[in-house]
A = this chain, B = another copy of it.
Amino acid sequence: MVTIKDIAVKLGIAVSTVSKGLNGASDISEELRQMIIDTAIEMGYRSKKMKKEEHKKLCIFIENMEYDDSDQFGYEIILGFKKSALRDNWEVSLLPASSELQSQEKYDTYLLKHGFSGAFLLGFSLEDEWMHHLKKTKMPTVLLDNQISRNSNVCYIGTDNQEGIELAIEHLYKLGHRRIAFLNGSPNSMVTDQRHQAYLDSMAHHKLEVTRDLFAFGYYVSDCAKYHVPDFLAAGATAILCGSDLIAQGVIKECRARGFRVPEDISVVGCDDIPLAQKLDPPLTTIRQDREALGMCAYISLISLNKNVSVSKTLLRPKLIKRDSTAKCTPYQVTDELLQEARKLHKGKILGRGLE
């Protein structure tokens, strides 16, 4: 059991100074206060206040993810988490984790200072500063769609991307599609990598050829479709699998702009099944992520970590939701016009073309 005295001895300062640092007194320097708190945390110190609150407060940190209304990806995840947590009498705070906040305060320090027993992180990317802190965090932490190796305080939660992509490719294969393109999400993310590998494996499984003009890495916005659809059409793709429903929305628009009908000429498959998917014209076939269940399981995993059960990974099943954006394959003639547009695209900026 670490005491204030232990911290004082370690830092070579007076017990009263440590006490001031931990209680936020204003007559010591901010640097010293920070050092005291960091040391206290490293040594595993918990104040009475922290202990008392330890079983009461959890935090959801969100970054680069929309969650305000029910149409947005994060909404139901947060709902699922909160529902489960509140049932067990936890108080849940939802906080945006701006890069300012992340650079101002260490992850563990922030949680301990505010009396949180653990946190669920959504939308973080490898560039986020706190992602580095997670390698050594002592706080129970559940991370959506990202994995931290070797730290038993952090659990990865997500949907089984491999199975999702397999289901989509199999569905398209059964409809007769052989030239299947994949407009993936942002590069440099674990999910994107997993899905890319699953696409390659699944195509190989069905003995379908993957040429370089059949896949690309975009961003999670509709607009990215315009940089890639010309390539796919010039490559004779009859089906386009997309890294999100928003990307699929853009893909449908770009296909139409070039005179291709969906699904009569081109089949399109999304990922996620956000509420938008069924409202699209045509309603979108997509790989569903059960977002409320993700939130619920994130809570369960966090509580397990809190009880020293080192859950490393919790994956949920994806589900293929068949709607009207996919249909039997009708191959088409690749016209000179399509080829020229694709060539022109390559001559210009390679905006958003991602990994080459």
Chain A interface (Cβ < 8 Å from any Cβ of B): 149-150, 152, 160, 163, 166-167, 290, 293, 296-297, 300, 304, 309-317, 319
Contacts and interface: CB of A to CB of B under 8 A. Distances in A.
Nearest to A292: B309
Contacts of A317: 152, 310-312
Contacts of A309: 290, 293, 296-297, 316
B314 A314 contact: yes
Interface of A is mostly: mixed
B304 A312 contact: no
Contacts of A311: 297, 314-317
Contacts of A160: 312-313
A290 B308 CA distance: 11
A3 B164 CA distance: 34
Given A300-B300, A304-B297, A313 B312 contact: no
29 contacts: A149-B166, A150-B163, A150-B167, A152-B317, A160-B312, A160-B313, A163-B312, A290-B309, A290-B310, A293-B304, A293-B310, A296-B304, A297-B304, A297-B311, A300-B300, A300-B304, A309-B316, A310-B316, A310-B317, A311-B314, A311-B315, A311-B317, A312-B315, A312-B316, A312-B317, A313-B313, A313-B315, A314-B314, A314-B315
A35 to B, nearest CB: 31
A152 B149 CA distance: 27
Given A152-B319, A160-B313, A311-B317, 6 more contacts: A149-B166, A310-B316, A310-B319, A312-B315, A312-B317, A313-B314
A153 to B, nearest CB: 9
Which 5 A-B residue pairings sit nearest by Cβ, starting from the closest? Answer: A310-B317, A313-B315, A152-B317, A293-B309, A312-B317
